[in-house]
Structure 1
Amino acid sequence: MSVFTAVQKNLKKNISFYMLYLISVSVVLMLFYFSISFAGNEQILEKLMGNTKLKSMINIVLPLLMIFVLFYMSYSNKFFMKRRMKELGIYTLLGFKKRKITQILFLENILICAISLVIGILLGSVLFKGLMTFVINILELSIDSSQISLFNNEAIVITTLFVCIAMLVLLISNYIFIKKTSLLSLIRTEEKHEKQIKLNLWKAILGIASLLAGYVLAIDIKRGTDSLWLTIGFSPISMLTFILVVIGTICSIQFFIPYTLQKIKLNKKLFYRDTSIIVIPQFVQRVYTNARVLILTTLISATALCLLAAGVITFYYPVKAIDRTNPAAFEFPAEDTELVNRAIDTVERELGKSNNLTHTTQMIQVTSSSEKLPYEYSVKEKPSFDLISESNYKEAIKLRGDNVPELSLSNNNVIFVEYNKNQDDETGMSYQLNLSSSEKVNVTVQETTLNNTLSFANSVGTLIVSDQLYEEALGYELPTQTVISIYGENLRDNKELHEQLSSLFSDEPRFQSAVGRETTYIQENSAALLISIFASAIFLIATGSILYFTNLSNAYSKINEFSILNRLGFEKRKLKSIVSKQILITLVVPYVIGSIHSIFALESFKALMPNLIGDSSAFWFPELIGIGLFTIIYIIYYQITKFSCYKVIFNKQ
């Protein structure tokens, strides 16, 4: 029998066995091809995020994706090798030399990878063309979508070269494996006994203790300046947290879970049931035998979830925070009277006098001689507080359409407008305001608020003071700054008016537009979101496929046991229940632990981001999206794995 005949028969015989592998590799290569095409389109990169910044991000992510895709293909190849050891041993008995067996495997890999490559490039091209056209239209980029070609020659060459390198690695790996393996071991591979379970209480305790310690360190960053992350250092604590979580994951999966389930066997009510008496021991054995796979998929799942949720947070949260960072639809300085009149005329000409509300705020800039001052005071070019009168603040809140707060400020009490909720609380702090070289006044922060009426481009370190104190401060020769805010129904989404006003204030950095800011944020973060989605998709697809192959391998090894159970009187429905529970529990381990890892990692990530709106739901929503997508992918793989295992077990009986 020739090499080509053997390859043809093997692929035809095992087409259903290879199908998921072919599909998963095709999807992975599709996403990989899309990423290469995206990285090579200079025009889109420049419009979205700035060529240099985004290019640097892609240059970091793509090599990591290459390494992971290569690992996934190597793992899958190793799985197929183990499944076919008996078949390869028969080839050896028939007179096939090991070099010829290697050629058979190599040709099979060539055919599968070639088909996956063609499918991946075709789907990737359609995805790139369609998604880029959608992004251009949604973001209204000044790019002609018809000029985007369907196929990217550079991406085709890079993806093809990558697949060739992968096939070369698989060839060398298969050759070394077969050369070192004897004929007898090839034939008897499937007869190897499962690992004997060795329970270790101390390692089980070490696993849980390490996980808890890692989680505690992760959320310790939320304590701010008192946290170990700042007192000891970010790098050493982050490395220690990572090591503790990895050690905890290893010991928990390999020792704690089997130890706990072995103890459950002592509970007669839970254990001595028609399915539990089979499922629990099998699950303990599966976890112990496949511990490395479960540990690996757990860590990969956590990484994918973190990557996806962090990308969604980075995209969603800045847009959500615009309502606060830009409270007015439009805002500009009022020093140039002629320019201000032209701007107001433009607004009235576009909307009419009755459809917009104009508000003028005069701020008094005053320095302080207090020793301890808030972060907002010193962040400006010229450190100072911005004083706003209580009545002016209330009027701006009313024009914005919000409920006016009930304030009762005495002459020496003030309200401090925080920039970041994560900063130290200034409530109760006293500051000395320098009205002149000889005249000073002490004020006390009655409360803090995130409800600002001016954008931070025009006012940071804002103090809301009583009208009496404000009038007193006006009597001194202190620098002032006047800002005009424009409010109105549906004005925050008026892109035409934004274009007209931004052309008037083209050289004025203090001009602020809510719709302009939102468009800028979306353009700057959409590329990063796409990259995080595709990278996490590759991780999750590969993770699901690895678990699929692992469960399928377990199903092949248990065919005889299920055949015996069938003869003992177990109905097919009951056997299917046993199979589905074994698969479900195996998938639950990386799903649950990976989700918990990602939640604590994201809590640390969120603590590094400024909390501009004080609403934790703005952070939780992206996390729920990530876990929701994660759940959907796992459910899909669970269903695929379940029916594939049914087919293996019941068709072989």
Structure 2
Amino acid sequence: MLAKLALRNVRRSARDYLVYFFTLTIGVAVFYAFNTIAVQADFLKSDVREMVKAIYGIITGLTVFLAVITGFLMVYANNFLMRHRKKEMGLYQVLGMPRSMVARTITLETLFVAIAALAIGFAIGALLSQVLLFVTAALFASKVEEFKFFFSIPAFLTTFICFAVIFFIMMLFNLRSLRKVQLVELMSAQKQSEKTHVKSLFFSSVLFAIGAVCVGVAYWRLIKLGFPGFGGSGTQVDFLITTVLVSLGTLVLFYGLAGALTALARRSKKYYFSGLHSFSVREVSSQINTNAISMGFVSLILFLAITSVTTGMSITNALQAAQRIALPYSASILAYGGPKDRAADLAAAPERLKAAGYDLSKLGKVSTMVLRLPQNWDAQGFQAPSLTLGDFCKTANMKLPLGYENADVTRASLEVISLNEYNEQRNMMNMQPVALAPDEYLVTSNMEVVNPIYAAAVKNGHTIDVAGTKLKPSSLGAISDNSANLMNFSVASNAGTLVVPNELIDNFVPRKLVINVAYASTTDADIAKNDAVLKQISNLDGQALSQAIYNTPEYSSNGVLVLSRTEMIAQGFGLRGVVTYLALYIGFVLIVICAAILAIQRLSATSESAARFRILNDLGASEKDMLNSLKFQTSLSFIAPLLVGLAHSVCAMSVLMEIIRVLGGVNIATNSFLIVGIFIVVYGSYLALTYGMSRHMILDATHAKRHSL
């Protein structure tokens, strides 16, 4: 009998609170689908398979984190549903059902909900994971090989355990709520409103001011101190203090703001007694405590969702833009830490590779340069006056970019190449050579954040000192065109390189050898063949590679890198795929959870106020005014947390964008459109669905016969 009663209650609850069951089901489906990434990797090409599998550990840890948030918010939402059903539970006891039997009924209902959500969720998740496989392949620039339907047991167990714990905690809270409340309270639950503790306009204003000050101080601290470990001057403790301030400030802000607005409305007779404003204020007042707390928490979760998606997509855009700049050649061979007195030997490395059986000229155009630093560049405490980024900043009267405070180019000398080497590079790119007077220099850079500094410093006539010779900037100014890309790298890597006259280059010692290759043929087959030749070079044993590069077997090959464009593009796709995958996972789950919580909260409040809407109807209130009041309450419950979350995100993103800009160009407009699109589809859909269901509940209540109430 209990099972039959519980099943009937579940069916009725599912019909009345479709949002709740829908969200739980989608949660199971999304958790399962994203956790199948380890199985998805088996269907992808071998070159990205291990990279995709490596994400599984991150996804698992992230799933646990999201499950904790999901559990907290779902339990919180469940309390609203239980509060709505207090009268029903009271009726069971009045009709003679022992409280223990009511508790068992609630337990069975929770179990049925869990079974239904898990069964439907896993079914949808199994289908969704098949689609996600092709999305994963696209993100990692791979293809699906020998596709067949799959089901992941590890993903199933991870999702099942997370949601089993959530449902178990929900069941405990339900039983606790039932044991704690008295029968008379159960029977009068629908007539009771939340007690409004904040009635004083002055006290509410003080709370609002305190919350606003806390949030403002947190904003100021974040902008001033930044993120620890990412160029910020603050410590982990400073960041923790900032986090606590913005969290507590948000909660106090909502609590104080809601009370202040309510008290202010009651003191404004012109507003309070027009239309149904008095009723709307009464409804807001009755929910003020719960609404304030929930709005505060939801706004913080929305802040996390918005920031994670925006930051993740900005990073992928920056990496993609940087890759277009950072890979101008078919391949680059980099040799670090060569002997200081063997510049000529380093420059002759292509000839030695040819003698060893690797003729790079057969692959296409080849250019060689040796990047140098002043004498004693590695001596402790050595400084290079006028040759550092910091000195260029002083001449330009500009601040260092975020994160450059402790960079080598800020305190130590910029690397230097000769005019001949630079022109050889330009010739390889089919660009016209440049000329320098004996007392001139050029500065090149391909990094967006430092290009304006060099341009301003050159415009202001920044001079450099080379072994007692003063050099002035060339009339060509600071160069940031394609010739500033000195080598292949995953991101723009030329933070500043000086070009000096040939006769002065001997005043510097070799620091790094760069051999760039531009393949003559661009067909896929020839590119693969040429990449294989370079792969053979990188696989040479240490002695042979050191002999070919450094002209001595004494130096290890640990400092030699062979970076082909094909390999770097594949790695770039992989990194962007990981970031995009995680950002979408976090953002989608958190937005759905927050929207669902707000929807359930609003539906519960509407259900409790249905009888009061009926009384308004009996008193002659128009249907239009009642629906406008409902629309105002519903919109406020969704929009207020969103606005605060957006404000937090704008502050955080203003700091994060400066960090991300180091990687390359950031198209914030694209990210903004993406965020707006997500909220229109997800958040807006929940808002519309909530209002539609609330409207239906109110109209049913006002149109029903009196004896049915």
TM-score normalised according to structure 1 size: 0.82
Does the C-alpha gap of structure 1 residues 544 and 612 become closer, same or farther in structure 2, counting only changes over 3 Å?
closer
The separation in 2 between residues aligned to 1:407 and 1:652, in whole angstroms, is: 86
2:217 corresponds to which residue? 213
Measured after TM superposition, the shift of residue 295 of structure 1 is 0.9
Does the C-alpha gap of structure 1 residues 57 and 270 become closer, same or farther in structure 2, counting only changes over 3 Å?
same
1:437 corresponds to which residue? none
Contact 1:254 1:291 in 2 (8 A): yes
1:25 corresponds to which residue? 24
The separation in 2 between residues aligned to 1:361 and 1:195, in whole angstroms, is: 78
Q: Which residue identity does 1:522 align to in structure 2?
A: F
Report matched runs for 1:235-634 at 5 Å: 235-260=236-261, 262-263=263-264, 273-274=274-275, 278-279=279-280, 282-283=283-284, 286-328=287-329, 330-332=331-333, 335-337=349-351, 345-346=362-363, 358=365, 360=367, 362-363=369-370, 365-367=372-374, 370-371=383-384, 373-374=388-389, 378=408, 385-389=415-419, 392=422, 396=426, 399=429, 411-417=439-445, 419=447, 421=449, 425=453, 427=457, 431-434=464-467, 440-443=468-471, 450-451=480-481, 452-455=484-487, 457=489, 460=494, 462-465=496-499, 469-473=500-504, 479=510, 481=513, 483-484=515-516, 486=518, 496-506=525-535, 507-508=537-538, 510-609=561-660, 611-613=662-664, 615=665, 617-619=666-668, 621-634=670-683
1:351 corresponds to which residue? none
2:544 corresponds to which residue? none
Contact 1:370 1:431 in 2 (8 A): no
Contact 2:326 2:493 in 1 (8 A): no
Secondary structure at the aligned position of 1:386 is classed as: strand
Q: Which residue identity does 1:633 align to in structure 2?
A: V
Does the C-alpha gap of structure 1 residues 46 and 109 become closer, same or farther in structure 2, counting only changes over 3 Å?
farther
Measured after TM superposition, the shift of residue 487 of structure 1 is 8.7
Deviations 1:305-350 (A, max 9, x none): 2222232233332112112222345545783246698555456xxx
Contact 2:444 2:498 in 1 (8 A): yes
Q: Does residue 121 of structure 1 match 2:122?
A: yes
The separation in 2 between residues aligned to 1:272 and 1:525, in whole angstroms, is: 57
Measured after TM superposition, the shift of residue 449 of structure 1 is 5.6
Q: Which residue identity does 1:455 align to in structure 2?
A: M
Q: Does residue 649 of structure 1 match 2:701?
A: no
The separation in 1 between residues aligned to 2:530 and 2:631, in whole angstroms, is: 63
2:174 corresponds to which residue? 174
Does the C-alpha gap of structure 1 residues 171 and 284 become closer, same or farther in structure 2, counting only changes over 3 Å?
closer
Q: Which residue identity does 1:386 align to in structure 2?
A: V
Measured after TM superposition, the shift of residue 540 of structure 1 is 1.4
Q: Which residue identity does 2:114 align to in structure 1?
A: C
The separation in 1 between residues aligned to 2:28 and 2:271, in whole angstroms, is: 46
Range moving further from structure 2, 53-62 or 630-639: 53-62
Measured after TM superposition, the shift of residue 505 of structure 1 is 1.2
Deviations 1:141-195 (A, max 9, x none): 477342x652122333343344443333333332222222221121122222332
2:95 corresponds to which residue? 94
The separation in 1 between residues aligned to 2:281 and 2:250, in whole angstroms, is: 21
Q: Which residue identity does 2:582 align to in structure 1?
A: I
2:343 corresponds to which residue? none
Does the C-alpha gap of structure 1 residues 559 and 526 become closer, same or farther in structure 2, counting only changes over 3 Å?
same
Secondary structure at the aligned position of 2:466 is classed as: strand
1:13 corresponds to which residue? 12
Q: Which residue identity does 1:540 align to in structure 2?
A: I
Deviations 1:345-372 (A, max 9, x none): 456xxxxxxxxxx574645524256445
Measured after TM superposition, the shift of residue 571 of structure 1 is 3.0
The separation in 2 between residues aligned to 1:398 and 1:254, in whole angstroms, is: 66
Structure 2 residues without counterparts, runs of 5 or longer = 335-346, 376-381, 390-403, 539-559, 703-709
Deviations 1:266-293 (A, max 9, x none): 6778766535565456446544541111
Q: Which residue identity does 2:91 align to in structure 1?
A: I
Q: Which residue identity does 2:694 align to in structure 1?
A: C
Range moving further from structure 2, 562-571 or 587-596: 562-571
1:204 corresponds to which residue? 208
Contact 1:215 1:600 in 2 (8 A): yes
Count of matched residue positions in the alignment of Structure 1 and Structure 2:
622
Measured after TM superposition, the shift of residue 500 of structure 1 is 2.8
Measured after TM superposition, the shift of residue 459 of structure 1 is 7.5
**Identity within the alignment, %:** 15
Contact 2:265 2:272 in 1 (8 A): yes
1:350 corresponds to which residue? none
Range moving further from structure 2, 97-106 or 404-413: 404-413
Q: Which residue identity does 1:106 align to in structure 2?
A: T
The separation in 1 between residues aligned to 2:229 and 2:590, in whole angstroms, is: 35
Measured after TM superposition, the shift of residue 408 of structure 1 is 8.3
Range moving further from structure 2, 448-457 or 636-645: 448-457
Does the C-alpha gap of structure 1 residues 79 and 470 become closer, same or farther in structure 2, counting only changes over 3 Å?
same
Contact 1:429 1:444 in 2 (8 A): yes
Measured after TM superposition, the shift of residue 117 of structure 1 is 0.8
Q: Which residue identity does 1:211 align to in structure 2?
A: V
Contact 1:386 1:460 in 2 (8 A): no
The separation in 1 between residues aligned to 2:226 and 2:453, in whole angstroms, is: 14
Does the C-alpha gap of structure 1 residues 609 and 139 become closer, same or farther in structure 2, counting only changes over 3 Å?
closer
Range moving further from structure 2, 389-398 or 160-169: 389-398
The separation in 2 between residues aligned to 1:523 and 1:456, in whole angstroms, is: 17
The separation in 1 between residues aligned to 2:96 and 2:133, in whole angstroms, is: 55
The separation in 1 between residues aligned to 2:314 and 2:689, in whole angstroms, is: 31
Q: Which residue identity does 2:69 align to in structure 1?
A: F
Contact 2:606 2:697 in 1 (8 A): yes
Contact 1:299 1:594 in 2 (8 A): yes
Range moving further from structure 2, 333-342 or 21-30: 333-342
Structure 1 residues without counterparts, runs of 5 or longer = 348-357, 435-439
Measured after TM superposition, the shift of residue 574 of structure 1 is 3.3
Measured after TM superposition, the shift of residue 443 of structure 1 is 3.9
Q: Which residue identity does 1:486 align to in structure 2?
A: A
Secondary structure at the aligned position of 2:417 is classed as: strand
Contact 1:109 1:167 in 2 (8 A): yes
Does the C-alpha gap of structure 1 residues 157 and 322 become closer, same or farther in structure 2, counting only changes over 3 Å?
closer
Contact 2:10 2:113 in 1 (8 A): no
Measured after TM superposition, the shift of residue 55 of structure 1 is 4.4
The separation in 2 between residues aligned to 1:285 and 1:400, in whole angstroms, is: 74
The separation in 2 between residues aligned to 1:15 and 1:459, in whole angstroms, is: 57
Q: Which residue identity does 2:598 align to in structure 1?
A: L
Contact 1:361 1:388 in 2 (8 A): no
Measured after TM superposition, the shift of residue 386 of structure 1 is 2.5
Secondary structure at the aligned position of 2:416 is classed as: strand
The separation in 1 between residues aligned to 2:584 and 2:449, in whole angstroms, is: 29
Secondary structure at the aligned position of 1:274 is classed as: coil
Measured after TM superposition, the shift of residue 298 of structure 1 is 0.8
Q: Which residue identity does 2:157 align to in structure 1?
A: V
Does the C-alpha gap of structure 1 residues 530 and 477 become closer, same or farther in structure 2, counting only changes over 3 Å?
closer
2:105 corresponds to which residue? 104
Q: Which residue identity does 2:193 align to in structure 1?
A: H
2:707 corresponds to which residue? none
The separation in 1 between residues aligned to 2:53 and 2:262, in whole angstroms, is: 53
The separation in 2 between residues aligned to 1:527 and 1:475, in whole angstroms, is: 45
The separation in 1 between residues aligned to 2:670 and 2:84, in whole angstroms, is: 43
Contact 1:360 1:483 in 2 (8 A): yes
The separation in 1 between residues aligned to 2:106 and 2:470, in whole angstroms, is: 83
